[in-house]
Each structure stands twice: as structure tokens, then as C-alpha cells.
Structure 1
């Protein structure tokens, strides 16, 4: 059943006090910037989250902070600030801020400067530097929500890579794609073969494009199995997890291979940042397309053209066998799809099919959380008493019958 216009607005909007944006702000940690992007005493990095602008920086002692971009004094950008002696100093009048957001110096104020600094109104944000990402909680109060201890968080740096790219569409389009199993064997057939070879178990998806989906609710969201019957009668099962509000934890190509967490976080109503965490919990990651990225803040690349050029699609390459004409990266193929949908998808007239059950559940969970917040309640999936991010496991494999997927996932 198509979504109503009112539900689509509630689902997608995050700016100017929109309920979804305020729910996320209060009840979830947001990834702000890859850790490697921040250098001690280096340049601050401008970030935009939920329609508001911030700066992230690493102080002299290695600690990290996130501040409102505009100095509370005369509203100059702190992206221009000097990063020195464990704080950002605004180059307009010299006001200095520590990683907690506190004003520690106001050199142009006469009188008791320390007392004056204590009374400057500032927003203070809690940060964490974990899993190769600097995270921020933008909510009000003294107690942040549970931190998302996802499978990559406590791995050593040589077992993971983190990249991200800003995409000019609404965030939900990216979140939906992370749980859309039926697109992978079509859209990503060529890139899967290029990056992992014809022996990659994921290539089995191209032999059965219409998976049967089975779901299981979990305290963090849900997990589901995409079951594909193979020509020999066996079943290829891919068990993936959706973790509220935006994490898609995707099973590895084989039992000992690297896996990926995809998440799309809202920059504003019509822009999101796509994150890719590639990791191997069993051994060093080594050189992969992701770990070899030349720019962790702008990778994977966006499609190379605009709509008048079909977003840079290479039709000559398609004549030679490439399935999409976007050879740059798996993510580039996804981005082309998101951008072609428009800044915010009109879900009121879409025509869905049996393969869309996982996407529908994503929408339902997000809408439920927003409505719970509007009723003054803590969203269930953000504060579930049995919430334990460390128990999440995504896995794939060939099984003899469909009913074995739970045993596969719980090994």
C-alpha cells in the first residue's frame, strides 16, 4: 500500500524541529567525521547534521570536540578558528573554547574574565572517538543514550576502514537501500564480480533474483533472511540486520571475508552522508577497494554527470558487458539510483512487490519511533531493556533447506 503524504513527510523531514529530526537528536548518537580526518591542533572540519552546522576538532591532547559552527559572540565561523593549546580560538576576537564547548577565554572582556566565561550561553555536546569515527550526541540533558557498540567498534584499526560521501538526496533513500536485498544481484552484479571475482559466493544472487524473505524482530530493529533456491535445490541464505535508526549490517561474501556496515545519516532534508565501514573481525583487513580509498571524506565517488548526461552513465562500457555503466564503485551505483529518484522520493504512488518487505519494515520502525517521541515517550528501539548491539551478527551461506537460516545465524 502506498504511503500517505503525511507519513512521507514525517519519515523524511529532519530540519526546523521536525519530529523525526528531534527524535534522532535526542535518542541517538550521530557519526560526525572519520577519526583520521581530525589532526591534533589541525584544521577544524565543518559538518552539518539535521539541518544545523557544526565544527569538529581534535585538541592538542588528542581529545575531540564538536561545537556549533558560529561563535556565540559575534557569530563568526569557528571553521576559521586557530586550534591551539587544547582549544579553538576564534580569529575574530580571540574567544577560546575547549572540547566540552566551554568558553575558557574572552580576551576582549574587561573585568573578571573567568566569571564572564562561565555565564556565556553555549550548547555543549558529548563526543566519543570510537571505531574510527568521531561521534556526537546532540541531545539535551546529562545522560546520553546507549552507545551503538556495533561489531566494528572495538576492532584494532588494521581490521577496519571508514569512508563516507555526501549525497544530494534525503537520508531515507540510502537507509532503504541498505535493506533492499533484491537489488544487489541486479544493480551490483558487475561490481561484485570485479571486486571479488567470479568465485564470490555473493554471485549466487544473480542466479535467483527473487528471494523469499523471512523476518525476526530484535531489540535493536530486525534481522531477516533473503533465501534463494539454487539450481541444485540448495538454498543460498543471506542474513542481514537493520539496526535503528539507519544501520544496515551486511553479511560477508564468505565466512572469513570482510563485511560492511552501511549507514546514511541526515545532513538536512535533501542531503545525506553515506557511511561505509568495511571490517574483518577475524584478521587484518589488508588492501581493499575501501581501505585503499584516497579520500575518506569523499568516497565512494558520486556519479560523474548530471541528469542531462544520465548522471555520467557509460553506455559504451555497458555494450562491453558491464551491467550498469557505473564502474567507479558499488556505492556509485547506489548513489545514481538515489539521485535519479529525486531529492525526496514521492512514496505516495510507488508500486511495491514481495521483495520490498524489508524496506517496509524500515519505514514502519522509523515512523513508530517518531510517533513515540511525539507522544513524549522514549522510542522503544532506542531504549529497549534487552538492547545489546554486540550480539548482532550478519552471515551468509549455502544451506540444505530454508529453515536452517536461524541456526546459521546463531552459530
Structure 2
């Protein structure tokens, strides 16, 4: 069933007090910047989250902070500030801020600086540097929500990689794609063949394009199995992936002992999102992969190389030679081309969906449920569930006997 215009607005909008944006701000931690992007006493990094502008920085002692971008004095950008002596100093009049957002110096004030600084109104944001990401909670006053102890959070740096890039579309388009199993065998057919090298279970997705989906609700969201019948009638290829509210798609490894990938798309504003890619191996060092071989952790994977006038840089000559999409840059580039081609915010009121779209529909339903619970003055169920334990999220894939329960594979 197509979505109403009202639900599409509620689902996608995050700016200017929109309920979805306020629900996220109060009840979820946002990934802000890859940890390696912040250098002690280095340049601040400009951020935009939920339609508002911030700066992130790493102080002299290694602690991290996220501040509103504009100095509360005369509104100069703190992206221009000097990062020195455990704080950001505005270069306009010298006001200095620590990682907690407190004003600690106001040298152009003639009276008691200490007393004056205590009365400057500032927003103070809680930050955590874990799992190769600097996270921020943008809520105010109340206690921060539980931190998402996702499976990669406490792994050593050698066992994970983190990259991200800003994409000019609404965030939900990215979140939906992370749970859309049927697109992988079509959109990513060539990339899968290249990366698999002929010996990878993921190749099975390119041969069975219409999976049967089965679902199970979990405290953090849901998990589902995409079941593909194999030529051997007694076997099924099962991929069990997880959706973790509000935007994490945790995708099973391509083979046993291989790397798991976490895709998430965080809202920059209504028409822009930041796509994040975390790849990790819980068993061994990650090494060089299609994700970890990144030239720039703040701008990778690459966006499509063109715009609508040239079909976003699609290479039709390469397609004549066998590439399925004409976007050879990266599997992420293929996804981004699809998102951008959909438009800044997808009109979901006239979609014509099929049996493969069940996981996408559940993403939307869980997000809308959370927004409505918030609007009713409640803590969203998935944010305050007593059984919430992010560490139990596990995505797996493998060949199982036909007729067997995929849960045995997932819970082994």
C-alpha cells in the first residue's frame, strides 16, 4: 500500500522542530565524525546534523567536543577558531570554550570573567569517542539514552574501518536501501562478481533474485531472513540481516569468518544525509577490503561523477563491455546514483511495491511508530525497551537444508 503524503512528511522531515528530528535528537546518539578526522589541537570540523550547524574538535588532552558552530557572543563561526590549551578560542574576540561547551574565558569583558562566563547561555552536548567514531547526544537536560553498544564498538582499530560521505538526498532513502535485500543481486551484480572472485556465497544472490522474506521483531528493531532457493532443491541460501533503530543496517559477512558491514544514513537536513560504512571482523584483523581501502574517510565511497544532464556520469561504454550499472567506482556509488535519481525526497504516495519490499515497509513502520510515540509524550518503544541490548545483534549467512529454520543459523 502506498504511503500517505502526511506519513511521508512525518517519516522524512527532521528540521525546524519536526517530530522525527526531535525524537532522534532526544532519544538517540548521532555519529558525528570519524575519530581519525579530529587531531589534538587541530582544525575544528564543521558538522551539520538535523538541520543545525556544529563544530567538532579534539582538545590538547585528547578529549572531544561538539559545539554549536556560531559563537554565542557575536555569532562568528567557531570553525575558524584556534584550538589551543584544551579549548576552542574564537578569533573574533577571544572567547574560549572547553569540550563541554562551557565558556571559560571572555577576555574582552571588563568585570569578573569567571562570573560572566557562568552566565553565558550555551548548549552543552555529550560526546563519546568509541568504535572509530565521535558520537554526540544533542538532547538537553535529561539523562542521555543508552549508548548503542554495537558489535564493532570495542574492537581494536585493526579489526574495523570507518568511512562516510555526504549524499544530497533525504536520509530515509539510504536507510531503506540497507534493508532492501533484492536490489543487491541486480544493482551490485558486477561489484559482487569483482569482489567475490568466483568463490563467495554472495554470488548466490545474483542467481536467485526473488528471495522469500521472514521476519522477527527484536527489542532494537527487527531481523529478517532473505531465503533463496538453490538449484539443488534440498538447499536454501539464507541471509539474516538486522535493522537497528533508527538507521543501522547490519549486513551479514560474505562468508564464514569474513567481515560484517554496517550501513547507516544519518540526517544532515531534510534533503541531505551522511552515509556511513563500518566494516569489521570480530575474528581477525580486517586487512584491505573494498571499504577499508579508503583514500579519505570523510568523503568515501565516491559520489557519482556527473549530474542529471549526463545520467550522473553513467558509463554506457563500460556497460556494453559487461558492467551491469556503468558505475564502476564502488558499490556505494551505485547506491548513491539510485538515491539521487529518486529525487531529494522520494514521493512514496504512488509507489507500486512487491513481495520483496517487506523489509523496507518494516523500516518505515518502526520509524513512524517511534515518531508517533514521541508525539504522544512517550519514550519510543525501541529506545526504551527493557530488553534492549545492542551487543546481541548478529547477522549471518549460509546454506541451510530446505525446510529448516533459519533461526538455528542465526543463533548458533
Q: Please report the TM-score for the alignment, with normalisation by the length of structure 2.
A: 0.99
Any idea what the Cα deviations from partners look like across 1:8-51, whole Å, max 9, x if unmatched? 00000000000000000000000000000000000000000000
- In 2, distance between residues paired with 1:139 and 1:51? 14
Q: CA deviation at 1:298?
A: 0.3
Question: How many residue pairs were aligned?
Answer: 411
Partner secondary structure for residue 237 of structure 1: strand
Aligned to 2:37: 37
Which residues in structure 2 correspond to 1:343-362 (within 5 Å)?
A: 343-362=344-363
Contact 1:182 1:209 in 2 (8 A): yes
Check whether the contact 2:46–2:54 (CA below 8 A) recurs between aligned residues. Answer: yes
- Alignment match, 2:312: 311
Give yes or no for the alignment of 1:243 onto 2:247. no
Matches within 5 A, 1:80-159: 80-159=80-159
Which residues in structure 2 correspond to 1:213-228 (within 5 Å)? 213-228=213-228
Aligned partners of 2:404, 2:353: CA distance in 1, in Å? 26
Which residue in the other structure is 1:21 paired with? 21
The DSSP-based 3-state class of the residue aligned with 1:403 is coil
| Counterpart Cα distance in 1 of 2:299 and 2:198 | 29
CA distance in 2, matches of 1:81, 1:124: 18
| 1:370-389 C-alpha deviation (Å, 9 max, x unpaired) | 00000000000001000000
- The CA deviation string for residues 323-376 of structure 1, in whole angstroms up to 9 with x for no partner, is 100000000000000000000000000000000000000000000000000000
The structural deviation recorded for 1:403 is 3.1
Question: Following TM superposition, by how much is the alpha carbon of 1:402 offset from its aligned partner in structure 2, in angstroms?
Answer: 4.2
> CA shift at 1:288, angstroms?
1.3
* Counterparts of 2:403 and 2:282, CA distance in 1: 27
| 1:227 and 1:402 in contact (8 A); partners too | no
TM-score (norm 1): 0.99
Partners of 1:195 and 1:71 in 2: how far apart? 47
Determine the C-alpha separation between the residues in 2 that align with 1:122 and 1:43: 21
Confirm or deny that 1:366 pairs with 2:367. yes
Q: Residue deviations 1:97-146, cap 9 Å, x none?
A: 00000000000001110000000000000000000000000012241001
In structure 2, the CA distance between the partners of 1:336 and 1:137, relative to structure 1 (3 Å rule), is same
Tell me, in whole angstroms, the C-alpha distance in 1 between the residues paired with 2:346 and 2:69.
30
| Structure 1: distance between partners of 2:319 and 2:251 | 27
1:197 Cα shift? 1.2
Partner SS, residue 350 of structure 2: coil
| Deviation (angstroms), 1:315 | 0.6
How much has 1:62 moved relative to structure 2?
0.2
Q: 1:288 matched to which residue of 2?
A: 289
Deviations 1:274-317 (A, max 9, x none): 00001100000011122120100000000000011010000111
Three-state SS of the structure 2 residue aligned to 1:378 is: coil
1:276 correspondence with 2:277? yes
Secondary structure at the counterpart of residue 365 of structure 1: helix
> Contact 1:252–1:260 at 8 Å: present in 2 too?
yes
Match of 2:341 in 1: 340
Provide the alpha-carbon RMSD of the alignment: 0.6
CA–CA separation in structure 2 for the residues paired with 1:204 and 1:131? 31
What SS does structure 1 have at the residue aligned with 2:3? coil
SS of the residue 2:104 aligns to: strand
The CA deviation string for residues 197-254 of structure 1, in whole angstroms up to 9 with x for no partner, is: 1211100011110000000000000000000000011100000000000000000000
Partner SS, residue 388 of structure 2: coil
Alignment of 1:188-267 (within 5 A): 188-233=188-233, 234-267=235-268
The correspondence of residues 61-80 of structure 1 with structure 2, limited to 5 A, is 61-80=61-80
Q: For the residues of structure 1 that align with 2:112 and 2:131, how far apart are their CA atoms?
A: 42
Uncovered stretches (5+) of structure 1, i.e. residues with no partner: none
- Residue 5 (structure 2) aligns with: 5
C-alpha distance in 2 between matches for 1:87 and 1:313: 46
List structure 1 runs of 4+ shifted beyond 6 angstroms: none
Whether the 8 Å contact between 1:27 and 1:145 is mirrored in structure 2 is yes
Aligned residue for 2:16, secondary structure, equals coil
